[in-house]
Chains A and B, each alone.
Chain A
Amino acid sequence: MFNIHNISGKVETFMTIQRAAQAGTIESSDILVSVRPGTGKLELSLTSSVEKQFGAAILATIREVTSQMGVADAIIAATDHGALDCTIRARVETALERASKPGEAVS
């Protein structure tokens, strides 16, 4: 995690993804979020049992949490089984925090 003063003087916080990590489960009402270091951009993929109806909303939530945490370079794969918005937010935040800590990759 590091801070940068942008052109308007505002401090922006960035989080660096250092290793592969994941959070959540593949159980009902949960979402498994896997994160690994990116290739210079943010790449998202989603598999969901409710993708037709909620796919866009789930991806928007993942993007929002990722942006709030200052992550712009990562590969994120999510497998959803009907998780609520608050669950998605918690799992993405946990996966990103775990991936930002140095250590052994979690497969």
Chain B
Amino acid sequence: MRRTMLFLPGNNPNMIMNGEYLGADSIILDLEDAVSPEEKDAARKLVRNALTYMTFGNREVIVRINALDTPYWEEDLAAVLPCKPDVIMPPKVIDGEYVRTLDAKMTEIERSHNLPVGRIGLMPLLETTLGIENAFEIAKASPAWRHFIWGRRI
């Protein structure tokens, strides 16, 4: 059940540590807007370690990565996918090509770490009118093996 979803800044250990106890159904470890550009490297390592060493009870654990038009998203995926979060949340998804590019990279990392392909879900955030207009194309671009969930921020 996904009634409440709690965003936690990926570079704030105090909030990450206490996230489990606030009662949300899903915890979103944020590497995007909550982290300044000069702290992206630090947040990536902190989130990776939190996923590796901490339990979040029976909460669904989601990682919001940086958008594909930034230089950060590939390093984000390389750091967190081997730690097996439940879902990856890509922001500012605008078209099907975005989803296909992201899925190809996720599949490559999953295979290189002997992880089952597709078990980690995708929750694209549609944050622009272009994304909403292309919603059907985005949904069709999701591969059959990938658990696909809608996220909307308009």
Q: Mark A residues whose CB is within 8 Å of B.
A: 23-24, 27-30, 83-87, 89-91, 93-94, 97-98
Residues of B close to A89: CB separation below 8 A: 49
A23 touches B14 (CB 8 A): no
Q: Which of B12, B41, B42, B49 contacts A86 (CB 8 A)?
A: B49
Min CB gap A32→B, angstroms: 11
Chain A contacts for B46, CB-based, 8 A: 86-87, 90-91
B-side interface mostly: helix
For the complex with contacts A84-B13, A97-B41, 10 further pairs of A-B residues with Cβ separation under 8 Å are A23-B42, A24-B42, A27-B12, A86-B49, A86-B53, A87-B46, A90-B45, A90-B49, A94-B42, A98-B41
Q: How far is the CB of A47 from chain B (nearest CB, A)?
A: 18
Please report B residues at the A interface, Cβ cutoff 8 Å: 12-14, 17, 41-42, 45-46, 48-50, 52-54
Give Cα A89 to B41, complex, Å: 13
- Contacts A29-B14, A29-B17, A30-B13; is A85 near B53 (CB within 8 Å)? yes
Nearest 10 interchain pairs by C-beta: A29-B14, A86-B49, A86-B53, A90-B45, A87-B13, A90-B46, A94-B42, A90-B49, A29-B13, A30-B13
| Contact in complex: B14, A27 (CB < 8 Å) | yes
Q: Which residue of B lies closest to A31 (CB)?
A: B13
A30 to B14, CA, bound (A): 7
Most A C-beta atoms less than 10 A away, residue of B45, B50, B54 = B45
Bound Cα distance A93, B48 (Å): 12
Given the complex of chains A and B, what is the CA–CA distance between A93 and B12 in angstroms?
16
A38 and B14 CA atoms in complex are apart in Å by 31
In angstroms, Cα B17 to Cα A71, docked, is 29
Is the Cβ of A87 less than 8 Å from the Cβ of B41?
A: no
Q: Please name the residue on chain A nearest to B18 by beta carbon.
A: A29
Q: List 25 A-B contacts (CB under 8 A).
A: A27-B12, A27-B14, A28-B14, A29-B13, A29-B14, A29-B17, A30-B12, A83-B13, A84-B13, A84-B17, A86-B46, A86-B52, A86-B53, A86-B54, A87-B13, A87-B46, A87-B49, A89-B49, A90-B45, A90-B49, A91-B46, A93-B45, A94-B41, A97-B41, A98-B41
A12-B49 Cα distance, complex, nearest whole Å: 24
A90/B14 in contact, CB under 8 A = no
Q: How far is the CA of A86 from the CA of B45 in the complex (A)?
A: 9
State in angstroms the CA–CA spacing of A89 and B50 once bound together: 10
Chain A residues with CB under 8 Å of B48's CB are 90
